[in-house]
Amino acid sequence: MANLYYIQNMRVVIQRVTGASVTINETIHAKIEKGLLVFVGIEDADDMEDIAWLSNKIANLRIYDDENGVSNVSVKEISGDILLVSQFTLHASTRKGNRPGYIKASKPEIAIPIYEKMIKQLSNDLGKPVCTGEFGADMKVELINDGPVTIVIDTKNKE
């Protein structure tokens, strides 16, 4: 269980895309068409409560237009895809100096199990498998941002 005084802060950057892919060692590892590209940063104190809340929020976020042109439809409702990519740099601290520090980002032995739980939960909430990058790999991510629509959410503020 997380220390009650520790600020939990799983962080995501969500981009609505018409297409996105992850290439590793010059080979396409994962590719989606219409859907969401989600970068996720994990901290040690992140737990199943954070995962469940965030996954539900991502799957049901109403950022697609309905028949009246109003953002009122989720990726789940359009049968869109999700590409989930772990990105520890979302927890970069730039407070001191010009070299970002990553002390708040989880080490692989903690982050990988949390990332795997997030994949499973997001697949359940979406109703189909999500595509992923490869944890710790040097990935080349390509996307076509639709809108553009980019949303940042963290579990600390629940916004």
β-strands 139-154, 35-41 pairing: unpaired
Q: Is 89 part of the annotated catalytic residue set?
A: yes
Residue appearing with tokens 């809340």: 53
Active-site option among 89, 94, 150, 155: 89
- 120 contacts 53 by C-beta, under 8 angstroms: no
The 8 Å CB, 24+ separation contacts for 102-109 are 104/9, 104/43, 105/41, 105/42, 105/43, 106/42, 106/43, 106/44, 106/46, 108/135, 108/136
Catalytic positions, written as ranges: 89
